[in-house]
Structures are given as structure tokens and as C-alpha cells.
Amino acid sequence: DGGITQSPKYLFRKEGQNVTLSCEQNLNHDAMYWYRQDPGQGLRLIYYSQIVNDFQKGDIAEGYSVSREKKESFPLTVTSAQKNPTAFYLCASRRWTNRDLMNTEAFFGQGTRLTVV
Amino acid sequence: AQSVAQPEDQVNVAEGNPLTVKCTYSVSGNPYLFWYVQYPNRGLQFLLKYITGDNLVKGSYGFEAEFNKSQTSFHLKKPSALVSDSALYFCAVRGYGQNFVFGPGTRLSVLP
């Protein structure tokens, strides 16, 4: 099946620990995104990547890092510098063509719920 | 800057009644508008989008949305609500670059 897969579904982090959330897609999408979801605040953009080996900070990038070594993969690392990491993290991907550059919808993974213990 | 407002945190509707979930937007340039639905502990699912053309857009699961340029609104509608429609609904607009700006979400509860 084509889709976007996030793992793990649940993740627990100790204080001062770095953790990495996985996001893989087999949709051949060029653009990939990481969002953070907190109750009542909707989705906030952490990082995005439009092509391999390139990524840009979103609105709340502090305390997070990403890599895009392969088209299919866009892992997110939550570092110890992120002081309030407990949240639901969503990865998304999107087709990119010159013809309909603005018009395509995003496909989302099922999310990873990160909790600090 | 692009922004999206969903003025209602919660919408309650009886099963079988029509439902409306409201969305207003602010964009520079042409608006590209989207609706997504989220079930508990799941990712977002795409429902429909407005890019250009007819102001009434039809989408998945019997949902439709009406684009109103003068009122800068893109309200989500369904003629007859189902209990299974109960979920969190997000309106989104294309933001800077190739990103999306999401509204805060509206929780829809359909009561049997």
C-alpha cells in the first residue's frame, strides 16, 4: 500500500534525552513536513523539506533537528533543548509538480505521541 | 501573512440534521483552501479543497464546502450528519512557500 508511515506510535523520553521520530513515505512525494499538535492550538510547523538534502525551519524549530538524506525519509530528532516536548507529532508529504505547484493536498501519517517521563 | 480562523471550538448537531463547520481566512493573493478531518489519535485525512472554479466544492464522505470570496469564508457542510462524523476538523490555507497554515480546529459532536 502507498502511504506515509510514522513510528513509533508512542514514545517516552526522559529529561535530557534526545529521541528520533521516524517518517517514511512511498508516495514518491518531494515535499515532507513535520507538525506539532497541542490541544487547542491546531498544527504548528516545525520543519519542512522540499527536496533531498535541503530543509527549512518552520515556526517552532527550536529544540528540533531533521535530516533528508533520502526522498522517502524525513526523521525528526527532539533534542534536550526542547523544554516542552510532550505533544502529538505529525509527519506529512505532498506531491510537487511545476504544473500545480500550489494545489496539491498533503498526506499525513498516523502520528507519534511523545511524552516526557 | 496567511491566517485561518475557526470561530467555534465545538459544534454539536443531532444525527440526521445538517451540519456546518465555519472557517474564515486571510491571504494575500489567490486563496488555496483545504479541509481535513482527524479522528482520535490519528493523522489528518483530506476531505476537500478549493483552488479555482465553482464556489461549491464536493469532497469525501458526503462533505462539501462553500467558498465565499466577499466574506473570506470556506464553511464545511453536510446535509445529514452521522454519528461517525464526530471528529476534529481543520481548515487550512496555503501558507508561505509550499506550506500550510492550519486553523485551531473545531470539534464536531453528532448526537444520536
For the stretch A39-75, pLDDT in tens is 877 899 999 998 899 999 999 999 999 999 999 999 9
A with B: how many residue pairs have Cβ under 8 Å apart?
62
Cα–Cα distance between B88 and A24 in angstroms, integer?
Answer: 25
pLDDT digits (tens, 9 = 90+) for B61-112: 999 999 999 999 999 999 999 999 999 999 999 876 667 899 999 999 999 9
Label residue A83 by pLDDT band (50, 70, 90).
confident
CA atoms within 13 A on the CB side of A23: 32
* Residue A10 one-letter amino acid: Y
Cα–Cα distance between A44 and B4 in angstroms, integer?
Answer: 13
Chain A residues whose CB is inside 8 A of the B104 CB are 40-42
Chain B residues whose CB is inside 8 A of the A58 CB are 99
Is omega for the bond preceding B18 within 30 degrees of 0, making it cis? no
Among the listed residues A16, A68, A62, B31, the one whose alpha carbon sits nearest the alpha carbon of residue B23: B31
Cα–Cα distance between B107 and B90 in angstroms, integer?
Answer: 9
* Residue A113 main-chain phi, psi, to 5 deg: -95, 115
Cα–Cα distance between A107 and B2 in angstroms, integer?
Answer: 21
